[in-house]
Amino acid sequence: MDVDIYNDINILFGSKGTGKTDILKALSKYYNGKGFKTEVYESNTNKIDEVFDLKGTELTIDIEQFGIDDCSTELASLINATEKEITSLSKYGDYYSADAKNKISKNIKIDKFTTLDENSPKRSFEDVKNNLKKFQEFKDYYTADTKLKEVIGDDLLNELDNVIERILEKINSESGKRFTDYKSISFFNKLVKLFVSEISKKTGQPEKPTKTGFAEYASNRISIEKDVNKILENVSKTIDPIVEEVGNLGDKGKLYCKTNLLIQNGKISDAKYKHTNSTTKIPQKSVADKIELISKHIYANTLFEKIDELKNVESSESVSSINDLLLFYKHFTLDNEFYTPSNGESSMVLLHNELMKDKEIYLIDEPEKSLGNDYISDVIVPLIKEKTKSGKRVIIATHDANIAVRTLPYNSIYREHDINGYYTYSGNPFSNSLVCSSGKKPNLDWKSISMKTLEGGKSAFGERGKIYGNT
């Protein structure tokens, strides 16, 4: 079956069971094969809760887009933290109370050296390495941005590039020096420890303590404190709700969908809030609570007991970043208040949204379902007319006289069925005729067939008579 479709309003009408929906689906398949992206909008098949994903099935949020660090590095460091031991005084006593009898060991001096501090040169190297990374990222940014080149011009960009290159060269040189200093100290300390260990093995004498261990002990606690404080600082941050417009409810105003976001801090028990990455609240809430508890034991003997409690939380490994602590509550609002739209209101806004999409071809099946006549006349009909002004193809299967007549369709397609089969007619209200595409049936009177077939009725056709004149 062939039908003519125009860059205008095309109305499909006829009795129930005459295949109007099948025609729309066939048209969708045809246009998709031509490179268009189309689908048939069917009233009442889509649920507004699913369309706007109130359950968060497709919700994907990265908290770093809100300026919140995900603290994945800090969480991993906290989970893997171990105690740094302080050298026991008894080890000093054992070493100095034993007589060195091996002649060779007496002549070796390297084991007498004290190990050097590695932390300061390591931090110094990492600082300059981070500077190098940031400047390189900046260079990559302006090099890749072609629009920036158009704005500031080649001369200014080349001048900037020369300055950045000199800075990178200077930082890179300094990075190399600090890396050498850090690794030299690290190598020296390992050498001292190796000789001390080997001499002890060969002579059977106690090892000489190479350091007190207090610096490492204190640095480790400070490092854990920094990690915990950074995690808690980011967990305590607030996120503004995400608000998107759903549609117009006429006199009631605009309906919005609001996504509220919270970070689980161990105290949130509101059942309305769900986790974005999990179906259960237990691990995330417990993990957040344990991290808060750890912060109170940083300089206590019980610190690592509390860290073990964190590790022992069931499924604690599922929390690898603050993203895994994110909670959401998604709902509709009207006048900034919680609101649940009725079935009719849901149909209203979903159809409104469909018509607001920027598409070349609109395929709509029975848009009048669950809609009031006023909304169809005041909102939907003007929207449909607006689409055709920009050359869009609007194809609607309907039983509603308001849509079929007041949209002023350029093309009306009527479907008829009798014992001999299905017949397709086309025409419009301007000619007041419907022509059978197969030629097997005589022409029909558009006005008579429309008044007989379409629901709603005479008021719409009376208006049509005033617009077009009596025919």
Cα separation of 377 and 459, whole Å?
A: 12
Predicted confidence at residue 90, as pLDDT, reads: 75
Angle subtended at Cα 33 by Cα 397 and Cα 44, rounded to the nearest 5 degrees: 30
Judge whether 411 and 5 are in contact, CB under 8 Å: yes
Cα separation of 365 and 399, whole Å?
A: 10
What's the pTM value of the predicted model, to 2 decimals? 0.68
Query: Which of 56-65, 143-152, 347-356 is modeled with the greatest confidence?
Result: 56-65
Q: Identify the band that residue 471 occupies on the pLDDT scale cut at 50, 70 and 90.
A: very low
Predicted confidence at residue 233, as pLDDT, reads: 96
Q: How far is the CA of 348 from the CAs of 342, 345, 368, 372, 395, in angstroms?
A: 10, 5, 9, 9, 18
Sign of the C-alpha dihedral, residues 92, 94, 97, 100? negative
- The strand pairing partners of 396, in sequence order, are 11, 364
Arithmetic mean of pLDDT over the chain: 85
Comparison of pLDDT for 195 and 359, the residue scoring more = 359
Ranges 280-284, 385-389, 463-467: which has the least confidence: 463-467
Judge whether 439 and 424 are in contact, CB under 8 Å: no
pLDDT digits (tens, 9 = 90+) for 255-266: 999 999 999 999
pLDDT digits (tens, 9 = 90+) for 96-118: 676 555 455 555 666 667 778 88
Task: Report domain extents, the chain.
Answer: 9-48+343-468, 93-212, 238-338
Judge whether 4 and 27 are in contact, CB under 8 Å: no
Comparison of pLDDT for 315 and 210, the residue scoring more = 315
- Where b means 16+ CB within 10 Å and e means fewer, 58-74 reads ebebebeeeebbbbeeb
Judge whether 321 and 235 are in contact, CB under 8 Å: no
Q: Identify the band that residue 455 occupies on the pLDDT scale cut at 50, 70 and 90.
A: low
Q: Of 400, 417, 395, 366, which Cα lies nearest the Cα of 24? A: 395
Q: Is the pLDDT reported for residue 456 higher than 50?
A: no
Comparison of pLDDT for 243 and 356, the residue scoring more = 243
Q: Select 9-48+343-468's CATH number: 3.40.1350, 3.40.50, 3.15.10, 3.30.70.
A: 3.40.50
